[in-house]
Chains A and B, each alone.
Chain A
């Protein structure tokens, strides 16, 4: 054991040694240490360099508020985590940590030159310079600044760890497991509530873990904690979550918790999640988030060895580590004397207590004097000395007239400081509760709640132990039952609790040439804040943004109130008038991976597969994503690329027969006496005159008149329609239908059901399709007379009940076989087998080519949400006799009939060879330079194997009046001449469809 480690006491196990590394050097700690306490136990105070000036820094705190001790912890090449607080890193065997933001080493960092040059780098200096020459910002200055900024180095390999997520409900969520939180949980559990208690630390107990003097009901504080935990863990309605930070408070009492599961383990079990994100909906919330000690702002207050008094006490009492051999305490309150007394008792010499107050006559100061500790009142700090560790502090005694009566230099290797406490109102404030300034405590406290929530204990300014526990009991019972419950009686005592506080810089701080730090991590000094006010930044939000105070990874936990006080002082206004910056989630930085959880790869979004998916995969299909669906795009054979495969598939359909999986098309059953009327009101088409057993191509517009979706609609019965939609549009079309059905026309007798996944749809297309299906269908006459184009019949297909629609999106004789999804694969196989050499499976790419040859549009490709039915050449579909349909009124606006609207046309390259690029623009005038006058764009373009030339569809201004004219597609290599042609390239008479 080192000289810094005490012989006994604390929450560590001295028998369990833990080897670890820091900056490549081997050290030893013990079980129960944090990296911070283990480093201190090895006499290592220098743990980091500051952001801007690269000043050497030691640990300021022992907890979540730590601004200085940021390290990178590295488990392996991929498991590298930057910017961790050493005070929160639990030590494990083999832990490997690195300091950050220094070069070449922590001891010698050339960046320190910034400190000497700091007069050139006041707050916001970068707004005033680096503007010449123009362009040098990006090429010269910014790269230098970027390299200098940043803290740790981001991981460079994908994170192999797993992250879990869960949702929970409870009656009472208690955030914070110190005395107040434990009491609240006990009382809530007494009322029979389902309770979740979480605490960010590895064990519950909060401040009691560092307070051996505390007594509760006559016994030690730790005994009370142990008993409370025993009671709570025996209660099945209570969930205890240690290492779990309540990081966010969201509307309606939803809280986000981050539970760390493996970071404290030397060898995490394979497969165990690293962290778990809890989303907890609580009927009531008890915030028992404690308070954070405030540093004192004095010149040179950032040297390693200068730390919060409470932190020194925690390191001693909880971790068994002395922070030095000879310490000075700087305080403005009684509480911190306990730290001096504890250290004194542990053999640390207390060279002096510098109390900023004119008098210090409380019990603790008295005890200190009695212990032989020299107490200087009316003291101030004029400076500190020391290279990589503080070795002297210069104290002054104020003469009461703005000067110093006596100046004294005290040798020391540690300075403890305390400006009182800042209640942790982060979560309360996130919940949108209103804060109120409390003058005696010099702090903002929770005032009016916005949610069902109560703050208890130190986070609302109650600091004495008995009061804290009482407050917890009362709030826990009330949160659980809505009334004050059975109150447990408690007698408790601990040191301190007087709540005296000090804010802002110490007297005469400005007289020193050394910097007085307010925000340690961002190197914001008193001078920076004063400069900001001089330059007219008065709102605290402006000061924050100009100086960056409070914007570091600690988000100002130790700095915000001091900054506020200094700004208020400079502006000569009360603190509440300066305002307070908003508290935002997360309370402490929270891992991206825990938010993402299992959402990666195929679990990123649900994958929808058709019943025939695996068959297609086996056949070597290449898939594309359409909405959530995987659709077979083409079926390459041998070494075919997409274009060869598609050409082959196209020719096969045109000459024989193709089989295509159309199952992804949306399907909605519209049923009821008013089903036809309902569709009349929605779709542009007339449905009243559609006979049972017949199909019609339907177009759906939004109320703004633009095409929203399309699809074939079959009338299965007078009161029953089978509506198909685009693959991506199914859900939104159904939602739109439900909207009108429920909210506009509730009087209609009509019901809707999505049947998309009930049916497998097998499109069999091509001149041989009828022959092929002939022997597979029962009870259905699929002859040309009985089942003409655009009709539907029910019957059995391959023995399976289903329906056959005679429809074609290919331009050939074609059928779509609909069977219950579970039979889809079997029927597909049967049809495919029957087809033998005459049948060719094809994918969406071939489907697109075939339909483009016929001039059929794809909604979303040939339309884009600005296209009317008439623009798309579909005016014929509009039911002319209908008084109204969704979108009709918008279509009556003059602009919807302007002759120069963009209209769907076909384009043929004049050279007969060039395949236009989809998205290419169309111009009337050749040879233009940017900006060009453009009149349209190519929406679909393919090589047509069947026609042996390229084809394209385009939306062109006034396009239908331009038939036969030449237009130009301007490309980087020059214009491509194209001829405007009708959009139907293949079989314009439709003879093949009607075969």
Chain B
């Protein structure tokens, strides 16, 4: 089960033999009748949780069940933005935990996930934006999270294609920059965790959909009914993103979630033109350039709940309005591919990483549009929660009960209300 070491040297050595002895990066495991723990959902969050269960908690008799192919959900559909400059202490702690793990992830997994801390710059377009962003900058600084305020000229120096002319409908009045933020290669995150988890004994079972959750007389999780048979497990962690409501519904657990389409698109590849990540919440545009040269652009969510993994044309036109307004040199660039994912959104736009009312059943969900950045951190504390049946201090505030008790962590409300 030991994994083949990945390195430049290994590559050169195998080049001499036509790369014929590379083994599968993870086994095509068939389900065993029983596991100590099962993770439902083979995205970065689920695979990562399995890895940390094995690696940090010694629980290696673990399966990850994926109804399709691993990394095929939001892990493989997002715009790969990584940052931690969130307002509230609880959020900053969670996302910064993640960024710290990102910084070592390639080495830890022996898989180049291409974490590239090229800086994430968030644009302010109104006086209200400035107030909100400066509040973030100060809160982050005091929390030890890097985030700095840039005047428009400084923002342009950091990102030369940016238009800071006054003739814009919403001129750029400044920006908040997190230099440690950046991007990573999304597929590699799924594959890297899969390979590392597999090497520790975790079974990764693709094309395996969960159809039912069995509970014992005491109400505790006992087994999963799947398209590949019944799999017993005393502990089940669900990381199913847009499909979380459906999976937890099998155990009668209701969640404050709604699933919306979220689209993204890429341009044709061009030579390096865009050095960082730029986000504008006010006019809805998120953009970076991939290592392949494509401009990677995030659009907004559609207005209605849907599981179709596609959205409306007018959402894209609106996004490209904003891109062309901010970067008028990109008007002649062309959209090469557009796609959609399903994001599960909570009322306070913060995730749930918690125990559920059903003993032995745990959930990591509600990441909305921002789950990728949290992959290592969320997986890490989720594994802790499953292994110890209690939350890690970092995810302790991210309960389901906070909605009952009014302890919301409302990042959206804190940013969005205009006067």
- Do the two chains touch directly in the complex (Cβ atoms below 8 Å apart)? yes
Report A's interface with B, CB cutoff 8 A.
Answer: 79-83, 119-120, 122, 125-132, 134, 137-138, 142-143, 145-147, 149-159, 161, 163, 248, 250-251, 254, 256, 277, 279, 432, 527, 531, 534-539, 541-542, 545-546, 548, 553, 555, 582, 584-586, 589-593, 595-597, 599-605, 607, 624-627, 633, 704-706, 726-729, 858-861, 863-866, 890, 893-896, 917-921, 923, 928, 930-932, 934, 937, 939, 970, 972
Q: Is B127 an interface residue (CB 8 A)?
A: yes
Take A155-B332, A860-B128, A895-B406 as given contacts and tell me if A593 and B324 are in contact as well, using a CB distance cutoff of 8 Å.
yes
Find out whether the CB atom of A627 lies under 8 angstroms from the CB atom of B418: yes
Within 8 A of A (CB), among B324-354: 324-325, 328-339, 347
Question: How long is the Cα–Cα vector from A378 to B344 in the complex, in angstroms?
Answer: 56
Take A134-B104, A592-B324, A601-B168 as given contacts and tell me if A154 and B270 are in contact as well, using a CB distance cutoff of 8 Å.
yes
Q: Which of B26, B126, B417 contacts A863 (CB 8 A)?
A: B417
Question: How long is the Cα–Cα vector from A616 to B127 in the complex, in angstroms?
Answer: 19
A contacts with B: majority SS: loop
Measured between beta carbons, the chain B residues less than 8 angstroms from A163 are: 331
Find out whether the CB atom of B293 lies under 8 angstroms from the CB atom of A149: yes
Q: Which of A130, A545, A626 contacts B126 (CB 8 A)?
A: A626
Query: What is the distance, in angstroms, from B54's C-beta to the closest C-beta of chain A?
Result: 19
Q: Is B135 an interface residue (CB 8 A)?
A: yes
Find out whether the CB atom of A918 lies under 8 angstroms from the CB atom of B131: yes
Query: What is the distance, in angstroms, from B21's C-beta to the closest C-beta of chain A?
Result: 9
Interface residues on B, range: 35 or more
Which of B208-216, B373-381, B407-415 touches A? Answer: B407-415
Find out whether the CB atom of B11 lies under 8 angstroms from the CB atom of A531: no
Q: Which of A80, A146, A153, A860 contacts B417 (CB 8 A)?
A: A860
Q: Is B6 an interface residue (CB 8 A)?
A: yes
Find out whether the CB atom of A250 lies under 8 angstroms from the CB atom of B267: no
Measured between beta carbons, the chain A residues less than 8 angstroms from B72 are: 539, 541
Q: Is B384 an interface residue (CB 8 A)?
A: no
Find out whether the CB atom of A972 lies under 8 angstroms from the CB atom of B141: yes
Interface contacts beyond A157-B329, A591-B334, A860-B418: sample of 4 additional A-B pairs, CB < 8 Å, sorted by A? A131-B7, A134-B104, A541-B72, A602-B169
Question: How long is the Cα–Cα vector from A529 to B289 in the complex, in angstroms?
Answer: 26
Find out whether the CB atom of B127 lies under 8 angstroms from the CB atom of A595: no
Find out whether the CB atom of B292 lies under 8 angstroms from the CB atom of A149: yes
Query: What is the distance, in angstroms, from B165's C-beta to the closest C-beta of chain A?
Result: 9
Measured between beta carbons, the chain B residues less than 8 angstroms from A861 are: 128, 131, 419
Question: How long is the Cα–Cα vector from A939 to B158 in the complex, in angstroms?
Answer: 29
Q: Which of B70, B115, B323, B336 contacts A137 (CB 8 A)?
A: B115
Q: Which of B8, B271, B418 contacts A152 (CB 8 A)?
A: B271
Measured between beta carbons, the chain A residues less than 8 angstroms from B7 are: 128-129, 131-132
Find out whether the CB atom of A917 lies under 8 angstroms from the CB atom of B418: no
Query: What is the distance, in angstroms, from B226's C-beta to the closest C-beta of chain A?
Result: 18
* Residue from A147, A625, A972 with most neighbouring chain B CB atoms (10 Å): A625
Question: How long is the Cα–Cα vector from A865 to B418 in the complex, in angstroms?
Answer: 10
Measured between beta carbons, the chain A residues less than 8 angstroms from B169 are: 601-605, 607, 625
Q: Is B30 an interface residue (CB 8 A)?
A: no
Take A127-B112, A705-B406 as given contacts and tell me if A137 and B128 are in contact as well, using a CB distance cutoff of 8 Å.
no
Find out whether the CB atom of B338 lies under 8 angstroms from the CB atom of A589: no
Question: How long is the Cα–Cα vector from A917 to B141 in the complex, in angstroms?
Answer: 14
Measured between beta carbons, the chain B residues less than 8 angstroms from A277 are: 317
Question: How long is the Cα–Cα vector from A605 to B171 in the complex, in angstroms?
Answer: 12
Q: Is B12 an interface residue (CB 8 A)?
A: yes
Find out whether the CB atom of A919 lies under 8 angstroms from the CB atom of B142: no
Closest 8 CB pairs of A and B: A865-B413, A536-B24, A150-B293, A919-B135, A930-B144, A919-B134, A860-B419, A728-B418
Measured between beta carbons, the chain A residues less than 8 angstroms from B28 are: 536, 538
* Residue from A81, A535, A537, A893 with most neighbouring chain B CB atoms (10 Å): A535
Find out whether the CB atom of B272 lies under 8 angstroms from the CB atom of A624: no
Find out whether the CB atom of A599 lies under 8 angstroms from the CB atom of B334: no
Query: What is the distance, in angstroms, from B340's C-beta to the closest C-beta of chain A?
Result: 9
Take A555-B336, A601-B168, A930-B141 as given contacts and tell me if A625 and B125 are in contact as well, using a CB distance cutoff of 8 Å.
yes
Question: How long is the Cα–Cα vector from A918 to B289 in the complex, in angstroms?
Answer: 33
Query: What is the distance, in angstroms, from A933's C-beta to the closest C-beta of chain B?
Result: 9
Take A137-B115, A597-B317 as given contacts and tell me if A150 and B271 are in contact as well, using a CB distance cutoff of 8 Å.
yes
Measured between beta carbons, the chain B residues less than 8 angstroms from A539 are: 68-69, 72, 206
Find out whether the CB atom of B328 lies under 8 angstroms from the CB atom of A158: yes
B314, closest chain A residue (CB): A279
Find out whether the CB atom of B112 lies under 8 angstroms from the CB atom of A82: no
Measured between beta carbons, the chain A residues less than 8 angstroms from B250 are: none
Find out whether the CB atom of A592 lies under 8 angstroms from the CB atom of B22: no
Measured between beta carbons, the chain A residues less than 8 angstroms from B144 are: 930-931
Find out whether the CB atom of A865 lies under 8 angstroms from the CB atom of B406: no
B195, closest chain A residue (CB): A536
Measured between beta carbons, the chain A residues less than 8 angstroms from B170 are: 604-605, 625
Find out whether the CB atom of B8 lies under 8 angstroms from the CB atom of A129: yes
A-B pairs with beta carbons under 8 Å apart, 13 shown: A83-B334, A120-B11, A137-B112, A138-B117, A152-B268, A153-B270, A534-B19, A539-B72, A546-B187, A592-B335, A595-B335, A604-B169, A972-B141
Measured between beta carbons, the chain B residues less than 8 angstroms from A531 are: 19, 22
Measured between beta carbons, the chain B residues less than 8 angstroms from A129 are: 6-8, 11, 112
Q: Which of B107, B115, B333, B416 contacts A154 (CB 8 A)?
A: B333
Find out whether the CB atom of A142 lies under 8 angstroms from the CB atom of B116: yes
Question: How long is the Cα–Cα vector from A678 to B325 in the complex, in angstroms?
Answer: 43
Question: How long is the Cα–Cα vector from A152 to B270 in the complex, in angstroms?
Answer: 5
Within 8 A of A (CB), among B111-146: 111-112, 114-118, 125-128, 131-139, 141-144
B270, closest chain A residue (CB): A154
Measured between beta carbons, the chain A residues less than 8 angstroms from B131 are: 861, 918-919, 939
Q: Is B312 an interface residue (CB 8 A)?
A: yes
Query: What is the distance, in angstroms, from A541's C-beta to the closest C-beta of chain B?
Result: 5
Find out whether the CB atom of A918 lies under 8 angstroms from the CB atom of B135: yes
Find out whether the CB atom of A934 lies under 8 angstroms from the CB atom of B107: no
Question: How long is the Cα–Cα vector from A920 to B135 in the complex, in angstroms?
Answer: 6
Measured between beta carbons, the chain B residues less than 8 angstroms from A603 are: 169
Measured between beta carbons, the chain B residues less than 8 angstroms from A126 are: 112, 114
* Residue from A153, A545, A858 with most neighbouring chain B CB atoms (10 Å): A545
Q: Is B316 an interface residue (CB 8 A)?
A: yes
Question: How long is the Cα–Cα vector from A624 to B171 in the complex, in angstroms?
Answer: 10
Take A150-B269, A155-B329 as given contacts and tell me if A858 and B107 are in contact as well, using a CB distance cutoff of 8 Å.
no
Find out whether the CB atom of A150 lies under 8 angstroms from the CB atom of B270: yes
Q: Is B303 an interface residue (CB 8 A)?
A: no
Measured between beta carbons, the chain A residues less than 8 angstroms from B416 are: 865
Find out whether the CB atom of B331 lies under 8 angstroms from the CB atom of A921: no
Measured between beta carbons, the chain B residues less than 8 angstroms from A553 are: 268-269, 336
Find out whether the CB atom of B269 lies under 8 angstroms from the CB atom of A149: yes
Find out whether the CB atom of B191 lies under 8 angstroms from the CB atom of A127: yes
B333, closest chain A residue (CB): A592
Q: Is B36 an interface residue (CB 8 A)?
A: no
Q: Is B61 an interface residue (CB 8 A)?
A: no
Measured between beta carbons, the chain A residues less than 8 angstroms from B268 are: 82-83, 151-152, 553, 589
Measured between beta carbons, the chain B residues less than 8 angstroms from A130 are: 8, 112
B271, closest chain A residue (CB): A150
Q: Is B281 an interface residue (CB 8 A)?
A: no
Q: Which of A127, A145, A548, A593 contacts B6 (CB 8 A)?
A: A127
Find out whether the CB atom of A599 lies under 8 angstroms from the CB atom of B321: yes
Find out whether the CB atom of B310 lies under 8 angstroms from the CB atom of A81: no
Take A279-B313, A864-B414 as given contacts and tell me if A127 and B116 are in contact as well, using a CB distance cutoff of 8 Å.
no
Measured between beta carbons, the chain A residues less than 8 angstroms from B107 are: 131-132, 134
Query: What is the distance, in angstroms, from A121's C-beta to the closest C-beta of chain B?
Result: 9
Find out whether the CB atom of A592 lies under 8 angstroms from the CB atom of B104: no
Q: Which of B11, B320, B412 contacts A592 (CB 8 A)?
A: B320
Find out whether the CB atom of B419 lies under 8 angstroms from the CB atom of A727: yes
Find out whether the CB atom of B69 lies under 8 angstroms from the CB atom of A127: no
Q: Is B154 an interface residue (CB 8 A)?
A: no
A522, closest chain B residue (CB): B292
Measured between beta carbons, the chain B residues less than 8 angstroms from A548 are: 292
Question: How long is the Cα–Cα vector from A596 to B116 in the complex, in angstroms?
Answer: 30
Question: How long is the Cα–Cα vector from A716 to B8 in the complex, in angstroms?
Answer: 80
Find out whether the CB atom of B112 lies under 8 angstroms from the CB atom of A592: no
